[in-house]
Every structure is written in structure tokens, then in C-alpha cells.
Amino acid sequence: MFCQWNFLDPLATKAGDDNREWTFEQVFRNTLRRVSVFIALLLHSRKAATRLLVVNAIAETASVSIAID
């Protein structure tokens, strides 16, 4: 499976620090959203019986949580 995501380059933004920070946040949120959808598609393609096992395995091995203000 292959996917290509085209995001703005936050470092190429020359409009100032505020705009650069906003661009970083947008790229982060878009990346997080697309990865979440990608994972959801993979989980949806599994049978219901194994779906719970996969989700529990992910939760047990996750070492980092992401908090968005």
C-alpha cells in the first residue's frame, strides 16, 4: 500500500514566527488525522473478534500519549 501526502513545509514559511507555528500545528494535525484514518481502515478490515485484540495490543505497547490543546 502506498500513499503520498503533500503538506506545506513549515520551515519554508517566511511570514514570521506566528505563521510558522500555525503551519507546524496544521501539518501536525493533518498528519495525525490521516494516520488515524489509516489505522481505522486497517482495524475496520479485520473481523470483529480480532479487532478488540489488536486495539488492546496497541494500547499495551503505546508509550507516548498525544495531547492537543
Task: Classify burial at 43, counting beta carbons within 10 Å of its beta carbon; exposed 0-12, middle 13-18, buried 19 or more.
Answer: middle
| Averages of pLDDT over each 10 residues, the chain, 69 residues | 72 79 88 84 71 70 55
The pLDDT value recorded for residue 1 is: 59
32-39 LR contacts (CB < 8 Å, sep 24+): 32/66, 32/68, 34/3, 34/5, 38/3
The pLDDT value recorded for residue 10 is: 78
Tell me the pTM.
Answer: 0.54
The pLDDT value recorded for residue 37 is: 83
